[in-house]
């Protein structure tokens, strides 16, 4: 594969924004590509993929070639991919044979899997040997998965509609509304997307709304709704009948649901910003179903967001765990007697998952609740993101 100086510079700029200015990788790549409209499809794919992969393997790359020079780091990454380096001045400081030897001698699993040492140790403490297998899987590139909007089409019909646009997909058993792209490509400009026939949503994430056992006509609260990915899925499962109260602390996130709902043909969503405990108290005993898709470390979605591992800290994980228990202690009061709730995270750490549920059930606030089922979704088993889903009933 031929390297081009200007696209490598594009990667440098993106990495600088991510590592030196702490910006989010997906936003940085979007901006980099937008600001250079002359790059062709192949250049754009090279910049996006190389940036993501260098972020993923950042610790390993820096171990093999300790340097603050982005050319050294890119060159090392390129060699790791099994390519040869062109004889450019920029790569003159690199010694491919030495780098190869250092890599072959490397045994430290935290460096090999390219995670911060504290995170490697935390995962090992919580998950034992499962962590090594899971971490390996979380370092693979994520597939693009879409969720069929069953309010407007069927999976088979959408498959054909996408094929007409040159987009080939396949489906996997156990995920009734999911289609997986055979090849990574921009689908947001396709006619089926603009017509609201699908949303991009990982297959594991699609298990969350499905596990809440909603029915048309119910009153459902999605209490940590964000930009509404799971609200939209709930509305489709409810056949756009009944009511969904979509809540979050952040109004700007709820705003995004508005546009997405319109595109999806959904009109049963009411948005509500949480302004403190009074918002929760006003909704006491009012819901048939409650979704708590709580804030979490995001360790289950490292395939998609590899920069998460460099942004997390032991303190940020402790803070998010505190928020998770606070939500569990107060939000379930919004459920009617006999109603059901789902607590979900996109994390694989027991301390954010089953241990939080156990603590809630043993507490005064959880005494009327019973655990009905629990799914621990690991990436190495499912092939998709890591998730945790627990369904409970208010007795």
Contact positions vs ligand SAM (CB under 6 A): 223-230, 248-250, 253, 274, 293, 295, 323, 327
Closer residue to ligand SAM (CB): 60 or 203: 203
Q: Of 346, 348, 377, 390, which one is the catalytic site residue? A: 346
Identify the CA nearest to 355 among candidates 325, 315, 323, 314. 325
What phi and psi values does residue 46 have, to the nearest 5 degrees?
A: -60, -45
The secondary structure of 67-108, three-state, reads: CCCHHHHHHHHHHHCCCCCCCCHHHCCCCHHHHHHHHHHCCC
- All residues at 6 or more sequence positions from 199 whose CB lies less than 8 Å from its CB, including other chains: 146, 147, 149, 229, 232, 233, 260, 264
Residue 380 tokens read as 């190495």
β-strand partners of 291: 222, 342
Residue 23 tokens read as 């910006």
Q: CA-to-CA distance for 329 and 332, rounded, in angstroms?
A: 7
Closer residue to ligand SAM (CB): 13 or 293: 293
Q: CA-to-CA distance for 171 and 186, rounded, in angstroms?
A: 19
Task: Say whether 346 is catalytic.
Answer: yes
Q: CA-to-CA distance for 363 and 110, rounded, in angstroms?
A: 37
Closer residue to ligand SAM (CB): 228 or 366: 228
What phi and psi values does residue 185 have, to the nearest 5 degrees?
A: -160, 165
CB of 156 to ligand SAM, least distance (A): 26
CB of 284 to ligand SAM, least distance (A): 16
Q: CA-to-CA distance for 365 and 255, rounded, in angstroms?
A: 32
| Three-class SS state of 298 | coil
Q: CA-to-CA distance for 19 and 61, rounded, in angstroms?
A: 14
Identify the CA nearest to 67 among candidates 89, 91, 103, 47. 91
Closer residue to ligand SAM (CB): 101 or 250: 250
Closer residue to ligand SAM (CB): 17 or 268: 268
CB of 59 to ligand SAM, least distance (A): 26
CB of 75 to ligand SAM, least distance (A): 37
Question: Is 222 among the annotated ligand-binding positions?
Answer: no
Question: Is 248 among the annotated ligand-binding positions?
Answer: yes
Closer residue to ligand SAM (CB): 212 or 327: 327
CB of 3 to ligand SAM, least distance (A): 37
CB of 235 to ligand SAM, least distance (A): 12
Summarize the annotated binding site as residue ranges: 248, 293
Active-site amino acid positions: 346
Summarize the annotated binding site for S-adenosyl-L-methionine as residue ranges: 248, 293
């Amino acid at each position: 594969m031929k390297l081009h100086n200007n696209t490598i510079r594009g990667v440098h700029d993106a990495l600088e924004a991510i590592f030196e200015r702490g910006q989010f990788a997906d936003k940085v790549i979007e901006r980099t590509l937008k600001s250079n409209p002359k790059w062709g499809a192949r250049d754009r794919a090279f910049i996006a993929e190389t940036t993501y992969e260098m972020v993923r393997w950042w610790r390993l790359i820096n171990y093999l070639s300790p340097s603050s020079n982005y050319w050294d780091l890119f060159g090392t990454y390129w060699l790791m991919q099994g390519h040869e380096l062109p004889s450019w001045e920029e790569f003159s400081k690199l010694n491919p044979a030495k780098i190869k030897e250092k890599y072959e001698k490397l045994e430290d699993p935290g460096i090999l899997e390219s995670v911060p040492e504290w995170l490697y140790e935390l995962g090992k403490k919580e998950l034992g040997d499962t962590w090594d297998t899971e971490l390996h899987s979380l370092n693979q590139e994520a597939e693009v998965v879409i969720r069929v909007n069953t309010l407007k089409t069927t999976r088979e019909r959408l498959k054909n509609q996408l094929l007409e646009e040159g987009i080939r997909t396949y489906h996997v058993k156990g995920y009734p509304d999911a289609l997986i792209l055979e090849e990574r490509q921009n689908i947001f400009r396709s006619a089926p997307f603009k017509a609201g026939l699908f949303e991009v949503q990982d297959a594991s994430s699609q298990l969350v709304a499905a596990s809440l056992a909603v029915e048309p006509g119910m009153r459902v609260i999605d209490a940590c709704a964000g930009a509404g990915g799971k609200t939209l899925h709930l509305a489709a499962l409810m056949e756009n009948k009944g009511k969904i109260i979509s809540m979050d602390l952040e109004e700007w996130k709820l705003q995004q649901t508005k546009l997405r709902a319109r595109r999806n043909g959904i009109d049963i969503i009411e948005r509500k910003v949480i302004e403190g405990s009074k918002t929760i108290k006003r909704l006491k005993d009012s819901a048939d179903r409650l979704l708590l898709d709580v804030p979490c470390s995001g360790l289950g979605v490292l395939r998609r967001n590899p920069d998460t591992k460099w942004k997390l800290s032991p303190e940020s994980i402790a803070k998010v765990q505190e928020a998770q228990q606070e939500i569990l202690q107060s939000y379930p009061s919004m459920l009617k007697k006999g109603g059901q709730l789902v607590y979900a995270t996109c994390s694989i750490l027991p301390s954010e998952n089953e241990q939080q549920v156990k603590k809630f059930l043993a507490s005064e606030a959880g005494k009327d609740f019973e655990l009905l089922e629990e799914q621990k979704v690991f990436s190495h088993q499912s092939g998709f993101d890591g998730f945790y889903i627990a369904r409970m009933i208010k007795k």
